[in-house]
Amino acid sequence: MSLMQPSASISSTSSAFLGQSTNNSRISKVSVPASAKKNEIFKCMATPPSDTTVYKTKVSRNANMAKLQAGYLFPEIARRKAAHMMKYPDAQVISLGIGDTTEPIPEVITSAMAQRSHALSTLEGYSGYGDGQGDKQLRAAIASAFYGKLGIEESDIFVSDGAKCDISRLQILLGSSVTMAVQDPSYPAYVDSSVIMGQTGQFQKDVEKYRNIEYMRCSPENGFFPNLSTVRPTDVIFFCSPNNPTGSAATREQLIRLVQFAKENGSIIVYDSAYAMYISDDRPRSIFEIPGAKEVAIETVSFSKYAGFTGVRLGWTVVPKELLFSDGFPVAKDFNRIVCTCFNGASNISQTGGLACLSPEGIKAMHDVVSFYKENTKIIMDTFNSLGFKVQGGEHAPYVWVHFPGRSSWDVFAEILEKIHLVTTPGSGFGPGGEGFIRVSAFGHRGNVLEACKRLKQLYN
Amino acid sequence: MSLMQPSASISSTSSAFLGQSTNNSRISKVSVPASAKKNEIFKCMATPPSDTTVYKTKVSRNANMAKLQAGYLFPEIARRKAAHMMKYPDAQVISLGIGDTTEPIPEVITSAMAQRSHALSTLEGYSGYGDGQGDKQLRAAIASAFYGKLGIEESDIFVSDGAKCDISRLQILLGSSVTMAVQDPSYPAYVDSSVIMGQTGQFQKDVEKYRNIEYMRCSPENGFFPNLSTVRPTDVIFFCSPNNPTGSAATREQLIRLVQFAKENGSIIVYDSAYAMYISDDRPRSIFEIPGAKEVAIETVSFSKYAGFTGVRLGWTVVPKELLFSDGFPVAKDFNRIVCTCFNGASNISQTGGLACLSPEGIKAMHDVVSFYKENTKIIMDTFNSLGFKVQGGEHAPYVWVHFPGRSSWDVFAEILEKIHLVTTPGSGFGPGGEGFIRVSAFGHRGNVLEACKRLKQLYN
């Protein structure tokens, strides 16, 4: 077996590279200017080093990256949480902030993943590269479980490593020339990825908006559904329902209007339905329940909030073959090229987990997970209601959207963190329309949710 | 537990959506023009439907996508292999084509992944979102195992779901305004992702090159290292060593010249060292063995070819904090923003596998995997040598690069497939400099490699 290995250094197993030790004398001579060693710790927001004697390349920084205003919202919240824990090392900090699942993955699913892991060490069970679009069997199972009677086929489904990743791949697909609209407030990945792709102008500090993005205000006044008669038509409309962060879910009638609006303007809807299983009544779970939607919409979905897959990483995007660019070219064919070129498929172990999610036991287990978080949501809703707050959402989503009229979201966030050691999410982090709100996530252990509610009652009673 | 669920439809567990069945009468009314149903099967290359009566959006197809010439190379080869198998259903087709690993993953690694899978169903073992940059422990282990004495720290390492995915994320980071150079031939993801990002002009059919990309010819005449004195300076230089497809590995002296060249021109090198463990002598395994490289280079690496992780999906990219844009802004801080916004970290199970790879047993197991494929390489090299072919590579890489002077690569590919049912890769798929070559991959079961070599001897004796 050692035929091709350099015999001189074969004894070393502590380094991944045999023979590397022979070069050490040379390597240790590499000189690094002391001034370049300053930035030892990453922060999402940073200023360039002030020392001008360091070597710089001649490559210009991507101007679109420079437009981004601050760190991506959730790492920023994690940073503030960490700082708080440094300040109060003994505090029992509870996080109902970043929307991260907390409950164990049902065993029927983890067993399947463990089994696949073991199988990978056998000749019969090993598999290498999968299809960039995902395993055929999983694509078929998704089509059947989520789109059984909607005419969405296996070939319309692209399995991904999560909705956030697919949103970026969709932006790459669409390119820098498109214009886009988003709900305001909305999940920050839509806007940030649009900025990175160069679809926007500079950030306007006075209105807290990027130039060239159409912000569709969703507020208590319009029932959290945009007034489409005042929306400027754009190429792309990002629409999340049930909405993150407001928790509101569009009705069938509203979605019919949305599809009509897209069709009138020739727009493409990117419909994020990552929370569809949280819907409590007969509102549409998929945009493809709306007649004609296949000609105007893409849908992106995730196992994260159904099966606790936030760390396992698995989702999918539906690009119907009926969706065409203005020249008649199918959008799905370009997206297929994107997943072939910029992606290599989700982990095979995660995909086995996805398949287990869609077995009868897996579906039941996912419903149990969703039910658990929905009970949390009700506890949080009842708490804020009992304290006299105006509360939105919650019924069809694992998020409670609480109004603090006239106050700054970050101030409320800081107050709640400082006084009762509870991490929430400031509404303004989701866009200017979120100012004056905080989002409270229902993802938490029951005990923590109850304790958080107890503290909230002490704080705001 | 069913508190929030709609009681009317709770009995259904065959659909992921409770209540969906209530909408079926409505859903079945969705009408799809018959003409839109034509394209039932995806192909990477496709023509738009000719029927002009179908609905089209008004969104223009991304002009950069339209520049792409053909399907991404490897799906195209998979397609041709599938067509061949349809034609010869009884043939025993052997694939030494797409460079896909075939040997089981060592058990020390799969056991760790299985254990992590099981742990995810327990309260103590569950974890949700990880850091976008990867688990701290894994980043530290990579820094120690691969860069022990090179001054690369945990914070310089970004864990990914594979090198191909990170190449695209690096292109997003760099944006559409940079110019780039690539080895010719080279792994097609560099050029294709550059086209998609809009860094290039149109494809020039006569020279088989995209405008605005600098193709650095690597041929037997220059020992497969570009003649840098004739290379037009660019912002970015993609450089893969050991090279895919030629199998050649740059010497220390050559890499010193490359770093110098980058420094003189202020370029950034994106160094792909996915095959570094295949190096047989004391050539550098990492660009960071070269003095000063941290100020000019990014390195992208993968567990795919070391541990058989092509399907598990795990790799990493090193962006040293010393690497600065022309305005002094650290490249790593922008890349950090990219992984926070466009990515959500590799699967936690895969990351546990990566950590197991870097245990002493894991490192030994990876060396065994690499040794096995290197023995395959030697068998293939010996075969072609015995047949009088000019063979390159092989010594430091799992690829054998075989010259068929004066012949078209695709013709040779077709001849070998048609006559001996062996899948290889046409050299011209890697760029015009690959014309007249085929790449034979050493990833295969031993029996298949021996059988393939037997057939090659029959064909070319």
* Amino acid B6: pLDDT: 37
Q: Do A311 and B348 touch (CB under 8 A)?
A: yes
Q: Which residue of A has its CA nearest to B142?
A: A16
* Predicted local confidence at residue A312, as pLDDT: 98
**ipTM computed for the complex:** 0.90
The strand pair at A157-160 and A315-318 is best described as antiparallel
Report the distance separating Cα B126 and Cα A451, nearest Å: 21
Q: What is the mean pLDDT of chain A?
A: 90
- The answer to whether B4 contacts chain A (CB < 8 Å) is yes
CA of A96 vs chain B CAs: smallest distance (Å): 13
SS3 state at B402: strand
The confidence score (pLDDT) of residue A39 equals: 33
Q: What is the pLDDT of residue A158?
A: 98
> Using the beta-carbon criterion (under 8 Å), do A4 and B71 form an inter-chain contact?
no
Contacts of B445 in chain A (CB under 8 A): 123
Bond into B185 cis (ω within 30): yes
Q: Note the pLDDT of residue B27.
A: 36
> Does A279 touch chain B if contact means CB atoms closer than 8 Å?
yes
What digits encode the pLDDT tens for the residues A194-222?
A: 999 999 999 999 999 999 999 999 999 99
- What distance in Å separates residue A174's CA from the closest CA in chain B? 6
CATH architecture, domain A73-99+362-460: Alpha-Beta Complex (3.90)
Q: What is the pLDDT of residue B75?
A: 80
DSSP B305-329: HHHTTTTT--EEEE--TT-B-TTS-
B275 touches chain A (CB under 8 A): no
On whether any CB of chain B is under 8 Å from the CB of A34, the answer is no
Question: Is the sign of the CA dihedral A156, A161, A167, A171 positive or negative?
Answer: negative
A203-204 and A209-210 beta bridge pairing: antiparallel
Minimum-distance CB partner of A324 among B57, B111, B128: B57
| Mean pLDDT by groups of 10 residues along chain B of 461 residues | 32 49 37 36 42 87 93 83 96 93 98 98 96 96 96 98 97 98 96 98 95 97 97 98 97 98 98 98 98 98 97 98 98 96 96 98 98 98 98 95 97 97 96 97 97 98 90
Name the more confident of B40 and A377.
A377
So what's the pLDDT on residue B69? Answer: 86
Residues in B touching A153 (Cβ below 8 Å): 40
- By C-alpha distance, which of A431, A327, A316, A399 is closest to A101? A399
DSSP conformation letters of B132-163: TT--HHHHHHHHHHHHTTTT--GGGEEEES-H
Computed from CA positions of residues A83, A85, A88, A93, in that sequence, does the dihedral angle turn out positive or negative?
positive
Predicted pLDDT of residue B44: 36
Substitution target from B1, B2, B3, B4 for chain A, most A beta carbons within 10 A: B4
Judge whether A310 and A129 are in contact, CB under 8 Å.
Answer: no
Phi, psi of A371, rounded to the nearest 5 degrees: -60, -40
**Chain B CB within 8 Å of residue A11 CB:** no
Nearest chain B Cα distance for residue A29, angstroms:
7
Least confident of A51-60, A227-236, B76-85, B213-222: A51-60
In this prediction the pTM is 0.90
Helix, strand, coil content of chain B in percent (nearest 5): 45, 15, 45
A66-75, A113-122, B29-38, B132-141: which has the minimum mean pLDDT?
Answer: B29-38
Does the beta carbon of A30 lie under 8 angstroms from any beta carbon of chain B?
Answer: yes
CA distance A89 to A437: 28
Q: How far apart are CA A189 and CA B54, in angstroms?
A: 32
B270 touching chain A per CB within 8 A: no
pLDDT digits (tens, 9 = 90+) for A322-354: 999 999 999 999 999 999 999 999 999 999 999
CB A409 within 8 A of CB A435: yes
CA distance B329 to chain A (A): 5
Is-contact B64 B197, C-beta < 8 A?
Answer: yes
What tokens appear for A329 in the block? Answer: 């070219």
Predicted confidence at residue A71, as pLDDT, reads 67
For A:208-247, CB contacts with B below 8 A are: 235-236
Chain B residue with Cα closest to A319: B42
Looking at the predicted structure, is the pLDDT value of residue A386 above 90? yes
Q: Are A25 and B375 in contact (CB under 8 A)?
A: no
The answer to whether the beta carbons of residues A245 and A433 sit under 8 Å apart is: no
The mean-pLDDT minimum among A76-85, A194-203, A404-413, B291-300 falls in A76-85
- Per residue in A142-199, pLDDT (tens digit) is 999 999 999 999 999 999 999 999 999 999 999 999 999 999 999 999 999 999 999 9
| B positions 335-394 inside 8 Å of A (CB) | 336-338, 340-350, 353, 358, 360, 363-364, 366-368, 371-372, 374-375, 377-378
Give the nearest partner residue to B19 out of A20, A173, A282, using CB atoms.
A282
Please state, in angstroms and rounded to a whole number, the distance separating the CA atoms of residues A404 and A438. 8
CATH architecture of B73-98+362-460: Alpha-Beta Complex (3.90)
Residue in A with minimal Cα distance to B49: A328
- In chain A, pLDDT over 70 holds for what percent of residues? 88
Q: What are phi and psi of B403, to 5 degrees?
A: -90, 130
Cβ-contact B248, B225 below 8 angstroms: yes
Is 1.10.3470.10 the CATH classification of the domain at B107-358? Answer: no
Q: pLDDT value at position A181?
A: 98
Contact criterion met (CB below 8 Å) for A423 and A81 = yes
Instruction: Compute how many other C-beta atoms are within 10 angstroms of the C-beta atom of residue B308.
Output: 28
Nearest Cβ partner for B311 among A56, A68, A128: A128
Contact B347 A311 (CB under 8 A): yes
pLDDT of res. A37: 36
Kindly state whether A49 is in contact with chain B, defined as any CB-CB distance less than 8 angstroms.
yes
In this predicted structure, what is the pLDDT of residue A9? 37
- Whether residue B334 contacts residue A62, with contact meaning beta carbons closer than 8 Å, is answered with yes
Contacts of A20 in chain B (CB under 8 A): 148, 285
- For residue B28, what pLDDT is reported? 36
Whether chain A has a CB inside 8 Å of the CB on B193: the answer is yes
Domain ranges for chain A: 73-99+362-460, 107-358
Compute the average pLDDT of residues A289-301.
Answer: 98
CB B209, CB B181: distance < 8 Å: no
> How far apart are the C-alpha atoms of B65 and B196, rounded to whole Å?
6
